[in-house]
């Protein structure tokens, strides 16, 4: 590569109280100590949700803009609740992608918003790398709430939080991730995180829904859900995204369910205390049987609850060090 | 009007010349090449020791954007960029607005080039009307208007039948077809090379075989029809293998590669700047195996030509999400330093081969004048400085656009001066 790029200084070992970057763009940029810091902070934040008055003044006077270029209920609501519990002033903007392509550029949109002096921007965007573009060119702290098929870091963090809460560890667990891998930002963020934390990850999908060179992600690829689920401690089901099935990926959702759907029978191969995760929204009867989704091993609603705590932790940590930098 | 190039080493592979000679230019043509030529009232250009006097470099794949996209480049700025990069002639692709599928547009381009008075410009006409891939353009009329090749570049000739007809018809005219080989269905909505980098960054991939499948198809059609086929901007190792095999059989196929495809790989998607839209081009930067295959092909003769695919885009157009950015980078002013630094100084090719790839062969492939310093030839000459240090500064490029991934690079080798018809049109002093 460029022989004249500045020599990379090895990152300092993160001190236990802060993150190295002022943005959260992806799990790829975090080290294990930073991940632990976020998860530990989230534990403290979770306690706030149990109080009668679920609000602390931590981000009072801070403005957070939730800028969503893709439809999202769960993630946007979760960020909003997290921001409000920290007393931030929040503003949620949903922009239909179609009107943007006709009108102003992403950069212009954000520069206009920045003229109103927000502190943080939570961005959801259909294009991979969109938050990286903003982080390079804008002033605000950028939190990636899902970029294209690249990363969805707060989802992976809340998944890790849920796993750690249930299993008391992440290291050494067998985690099976099953579903539309190629289009999944949840997959990519989770693989980074689980690898950094020492889990063994199996990734299962038909070959049409596997990313190129999947083995280099540090996972064990398989087209057999039985093999993936066998003795698994955690099974993470990914949504089959109808809106992304414009190609020739699967013949039908029925055939997909026959080969890859998570059923009570298939689950019998898993560890006796397996937990089932799903980032939502679920397609019942496509990737997951309702009996599994609503069954005793499912922690899907816990994930949603933990999402708020994890996002509070991220907002708190990034706001805190932004303060220091000023 | 006489100009004497005194000193320096003349490398003129077309005439088997490589040695320390002077070169006398009279009335825009090479009049004598010899040792210690007398001045006899000529102006003298002292060529420094170590510099190389070569036949003018020819880039057979550039986008000058005029008419229609003058915010990206004009023929005046594009040819200024060309001569600053050592190119005395360029052949410009027809994907202007409107598409160059008509003699009126070819004439306009050539008139603007004459007005600019820098590099020679040869238009490449569209294969099909509007490059829509449906109906053949009037190829004979376009040849008469100055077109030196036909291509729907930017798009492949998707229909095998149309490609067959084009090769047959252009074959009659003795003009090659240049195809941007890429199977549209395999490309899909791809924006980067299909491989680990794109997969991990969540970018839709374009596999190498999207290119090679069409290269193989076009070779078969060329062998069927006898028409000459030139592979534009080859990037995939599978394509190289197909071209090598075809050449062994004696097929009328030639190929070109761009500097970025023999210098960079898809690692550039990750660093130094993640999602840098200045590494988005089509064909995409491929993986190390492909890059290495291109290096082998350049050295072993499978690849005939180095062409830049100079594709200027306005900064605003590149300052968007990776998915939405247009494909392409500027290349005219970075080609020679990259060739020296990455091919010559690494020992992969010698100076003679460099001149073949950048001058002799481009002239041969498109049947252009040039590529030779024989007495009587137009004095299109590039003076190369193999050991000069070139610091690439995007802001200082002559091109109207600055979209290069090589900004800030420091390379060994550069251009000292460029002469077109005996006139110094660029000097790096």
Q: Indicate whether A91 and A143 sit together in one domain.
A: yes
Which of B401, B426, B414, B314 shows the shortest CA–CA distance to B77? B401
Q: What is the DSSP string of A119-133?
A: SEEEEEESSTTHHHH
Q: What is the mean pLDDT of residues B51-80?
A: 98
Q: A286: which DSSP letter?
A: T
In a domain, A15, yes or no: no
Q: What is the pLDDT of residues A120-137, one digit of tens each?
A: 999 999 999 999 999 999
Q: How far is B320 from chain A (nearest CA, A)?
A: 7
State how far the Cα of A262 lies from the Cα of A205, in Å rounded to an integer. Answer: 12
The answer, yes or no, to whether residue A1 has pLDDT greater than 50, is no
In a domain, A3, yes or no: no
The residue-averaged pLDDT of A61-68 equals: 96
Of the candidates B51, B57, B54, B17, the one whose C-alpha atom is nearest the C-alpha of residue B35 is B17
pLDDT at A6: 43
Is position A131 within any domain? Answer: yes
| Class for the domain spanning B57-365 | alpha beta
- The C-alpha atoms of residue B360 and residue B368 are separated, in whole angstroms, by 10
- For residue A95, what pLDDT band results from cuts at 50, 70 and 90? confident
**Which residues does chain B have within 8 Å of residue A217's beta carbon, measured at their own beta carbons?**
196, 199-200
- Could you confirm whether B309 is annotated as catalytic? yes
Q: Given A23, A41, A62, A75, which residue is catalytic?
A: A75
Of A125, A216, A247, the CB nearest to B188: A247
Q: Tell me what pLDDT residue B353 has.
A: 98
Which two three-digit tokens encode residue A104?
């102003």
Per DSSP, which regions of chain A are E strands? 63-68, 89-94, 120-125, 141-147, 174-178, 200-204, 220-222, 234-237, 275-277
- Taking the CA of residue B364 and the nearest CA in chain A, the distance in Å comes to 33
Give the C-alpha separation, B206 to B421, whole Å. Answer: 43
User: Given an 8 Å threshold on Cβ–Cβ distance, is A1 in contact with B410?
Assistant: no
Mean pLDDT value of segment A295-310: 97
Does the CA dihedral B28-B34-B35-B40 come out positive or negative? Answer: negative
Indicate whether A174 and A259 sit together in one domain.
yes
Q: Is residue A218 domain-shared with residue A314, that is, in the same domain?
A: no
Decide the pairing of beta strands B22-26 and B17-20. unpaired
Residue A2 in domain: no
Please tell me the predicted confidence (pLDDT) of residue B255.
Answer: 98
Predicted pLDDT of residue A325? 59
Widest Cα–Cα separation across chain A: 58
Find where tokens 């099909």 sit. B128
> Per residue in B67-119, pLDDT tens?
999 999 999 999 999 999 999 999 999 999 999 999 999 999 999 999 999 99
**Strand spans (E) along B56-201:** 57-62, 87-92, 120-123, 150-151, 177-179, 192-193
pLDDT of residue A324: 66
pLDDT of B1: 83
Same domain, A124 and A167: no
Q: Which long-range contacts (CB under 8 A, 24 or more apart) does B153-157 make?
A: B153/B61, B153/B93, B153/B94, B153/B95, B153/B124, B153/B178, B153/B180, B153/B232, B154/B93, B154/B95, B154/B180, B155/B95, B155/B131, B155/B180, B156/B180, B156/B181, B156/B182, B156/B183, B156/B184, B156/B214, B157/B127, B157/B128, B157/B133
pLDDT of the residue at A92: 93
The domain of A274 spans: 153-304
Nearest CB to B205; choose among A107, A136, A212: A212
The residues near B380 (Cβ < 8 Å, ≥ 6 apart) are B55, B56, B88, B89, B120, B370, B419, B420, B421
Residue A90 lies in a domain: yes
Query: Is residue A182 domain-resident?
Result: yes
From CA B165, how far away is CA B367, in angstroms rounded?
21
Q: Is residue A279 located within the same domain as residue A291? A: yes
Catalytic residue among B309, B323, B341, B387: B309
Residue-wise pLDDT for A104-115, tens only, equals 899 999 999 999
Q: Could you say which of B264, B272, B320 has the minimum Cβ distance to residue A106?
A: B320
Say whether both A321 and A221 belong to one domain. no
What is the per-residue pLDDT for A17? 79
Q: State whether A2 and B321 contact (CB < 8 Å).
A: no
Query: Which CATH number does the domain housing residue A210 bear?
Result: 3.40.50.1370
CB A260, CB A206: distance < 8 Å: yes
Residues B177-181 have a mean pLDDT of 98
Q: Is residue A228 part of a domain?
A: yes
3-class state of residue B223 by DSSP: helix
Collapsing DSSP states into helix, strand and coil, what is residue A211? coil
Closest residue in A to B201 (Cα–Cα): A150
Beta partners for B25?
A: B3, B30
Kindly report the pTM of this predicted structure.
Answer: 0.94
Query: What confidence score (pLDDT) does residue A243 get?
Result: 64
Examine the domain organization and report whether A119 and A131 are in the same domain: yes
Choices 2.30.40.10, 3.20.20.110, 3.40.50.720, 3.40.50.11810: CATH for B2-52+379-427: 2.30.40.10
Write down the domain spans for chain B.
2-52+379-427, 57-365
What residues contact B221, with CB distance under 8 A and at least 6 apart? B160, B163, B164, B167, B227, B229
Same domain, A175 and A141: no
Q: Tens digit of pLDDT for each residue in B204-240?
A: 999 999 999 999 999 999 999 999 999 999 999 999 9
Predicted confidence at residue B410, as pLDDT, reads 98
Instruction: Report residue A318 CA to chain centroid gap.
Output: 17
Note the pLDDT of residue A248.
Answer: 83
Tally of domains in chain A: 2
CB B353 within 8 A of CB B59: no
Task: Identify the pLDDT of residue B19.
Answer: 97
Our CA-based measurement puts residue B389 at a distance from the nearest CA of chain A, in whole angstroms, of: 14
pLDDT digits (tens, 9 = 90+) for B8-51: 899 999 999 999 999 999 999 999 999 999 999 999 999 999 99
A254 plus A204 within the same structural domain: yes
How near does any CA of chain A get to the CA of B66, in Å? 25
Whether residue A92 lies inside any domain: the answer is: yes
Contact of B210 with chain A, judged by CB distance below 8 Å, is answered with no
Pair of tokens at residue A296: 């005793």
B262-295: per-residue pLDDT in tens?
A: 999 999 999 999 999 999 999 999 999 999 999 9
Q: How, if at all, do strands B9-12 and B17-20 pair?
A: antiparallel
User: What sign does the dihedral B358-B361-B366-B368 (CA atoms) show?
Assistant: positive
What rounded mean pLDDT belongs to chain A? Answer: 91
Same domain, A75 and A192: no
User: pLDDT for A16-50, tens place per residue?
Assistant: 678 999 999 999 999 999 999 999 999 999 999 88
* Best to test chain B binding among A146, A212, A247 (most B CBs inside 10 Å): A212
Residue of B nearest to A110 (CA): B320
Residue that the structure tokens 């809340």 belong to? A158
**Residue B170 has which token pair?**
């252009």
Nearest CA in chain B to A209: B199
Check pLDDT > 50 for residue A231. yes
- Same domain, yes or no, for A179 and A198? yes
Q: Is there a contact between B202 and A128 if contact means CB atoms under 8 Å apart?
A: yes
The angle formed by the CA atoms of residues A242, A224 and A282, to the nearest 5 degrees, is 30
Q: Are residues A185 and A139 in the same domain?
A: no
């Amino acid at each position: 590569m460029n022989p004249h790029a500045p020599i990379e200084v090895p990152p300092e070992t993160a001190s236990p109280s802060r993150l190295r970057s002022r943005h959260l763009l992806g799990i790829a940029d975090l080290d294990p100590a930073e991940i632990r810091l976020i998860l530990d902070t989230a534990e403290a934040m979770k306690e706030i949700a149990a109080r009668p008055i679920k609000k602390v003044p931590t981000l009072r006077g801070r403005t957070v803009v939730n800028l969503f270029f893709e439809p999202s209920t769960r993630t946007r609501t979760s960020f909003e609740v997290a921001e409000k519990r920290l007393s931030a002033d929040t503003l949620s903007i949903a922009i239909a992608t179609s009107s943007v392509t006709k009108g102003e550029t992403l950069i212009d949109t954000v520069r206009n918003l920045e003229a109103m002096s927000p502190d943080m921007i939570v961005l959801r965007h259909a294009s991979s790398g969109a938050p990286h573009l903003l982080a390079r060119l804008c002033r605000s702290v950028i939190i990636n709430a899902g970029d294209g098929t690249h990363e969805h870091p707060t989802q992976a963090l809340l998944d890790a939080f849920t796993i750690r809460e249930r299993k008391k560890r992440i290291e050494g667990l067998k985690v099976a991730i099953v579903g539309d891998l190629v289009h999944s930002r949840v997959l990519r963020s989770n693989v980074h995180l689980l690898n950094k934390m020492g889990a063994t990850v199996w990734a299962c999908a038909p070959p049409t829904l596997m990313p190129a060179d999947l083995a280099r992600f540090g996972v064990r690829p398989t087209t057999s859900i039985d093999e993936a689920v066998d003795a698994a401690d955690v099974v993470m089901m990914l949504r089959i995204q109808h809106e992304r099935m414009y190609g020739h990926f699967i013949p039908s959702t029925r055939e997909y369910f026959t080969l890859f759907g998570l059923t009570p029978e298939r689950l019998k191969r898993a560890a006796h205390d397996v937990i089932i995760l799903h980032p939502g929204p679920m397609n019942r009867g496509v990737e997951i049987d309702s009996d599994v989704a609503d069954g005793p091993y499912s922690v899907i609603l816990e994930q949603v609850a933990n999402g708020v705590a994890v996002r509070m932790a991220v907002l708190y940590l990034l706001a805190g060090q932004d303060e220091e930098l000023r | 009007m006489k100009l004497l190039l005194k000193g320096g080493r003349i490398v003129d592979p077309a005439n088997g010349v490589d040695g320390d000679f002077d070169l006398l230019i009279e009335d825009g043509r090479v009049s004598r090449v010899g040792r210690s030529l007398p001045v006899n009232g000529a102006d003298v250009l002292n060529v420094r020791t170590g510099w190389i006097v070569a036949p003018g470099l020819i880039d057979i794949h550039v986008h000058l954007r005029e008419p229609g996209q003058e915010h990206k480049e004009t023929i005046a700025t594009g040819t200024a960029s060309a001569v600053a990069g050592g190119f005395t002639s360029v052949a410009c692709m027809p994907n202007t607005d409107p598409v160059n599928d008509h003699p009126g547009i070819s004439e306009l381009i050539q008139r603007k080039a004459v007005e600019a008075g820098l590099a020679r410009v040869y238009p490449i006409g569209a294969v099909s009307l509007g490059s829509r891939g449906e109906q053949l353009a009037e190829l004979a009329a376009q040849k008469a208007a100055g077109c030196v090749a036909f291509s729907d570049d930017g798009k492949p000739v998707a229909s095998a039948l149309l490609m067959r007809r084009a090769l047959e018809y252009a074959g009659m005219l003795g003009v090659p077809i240049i195809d941007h080989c890429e199977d549209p269905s395999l490309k899909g909505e791809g924006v980067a090379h299909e491989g680990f980098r794109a997969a991990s960054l969540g970018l839709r991939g374009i596999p190498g075989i999207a290119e090679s499948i069409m290269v193989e198809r076009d070779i078969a059609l060329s062998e069927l029809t006898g028409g000459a086929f030139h592979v534009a901007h080859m990037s995939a190792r599978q394509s190289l293998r197909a071209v090598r095999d075809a050449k062994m059989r004696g097929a009328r196929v030639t190929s070109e590669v761009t500097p970025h495809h023999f210098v960079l790989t898809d690692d550039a998607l990750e660093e130094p700047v993640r999602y840098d839209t200045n590494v988005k081009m089509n064909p995409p930067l491929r993986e190390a195996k492909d890059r290495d295959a291109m290096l082998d092909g350049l050295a072993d003769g499978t690849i005939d030509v180095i062409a830049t695919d100079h594709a200027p885009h306005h900064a605003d157009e590149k300052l968007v999400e990776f998915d939405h950015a247009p494909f392409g980078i500027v290349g005219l002013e970075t080609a020679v330093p990259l060739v020296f630094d990455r091919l010559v100084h690494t020992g992969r090719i010698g100076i003679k081969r460099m001149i073949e790839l950048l001058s002799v062969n481009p002239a041969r492939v498109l049947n252009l004048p040039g590529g030779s310093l024989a007495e009587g030839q137009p004095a299109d000459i590039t003076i190369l400085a193999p050991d000069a240090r070139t610091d690439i500064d995007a802001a200082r490029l002559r091109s109207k656009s600055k979209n290069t991934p090589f900004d800030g690079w420091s390379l060994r080798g550069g251009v000292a001066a460029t002469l077109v018809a005996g006139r110094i049109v660029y000097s790096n002093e």
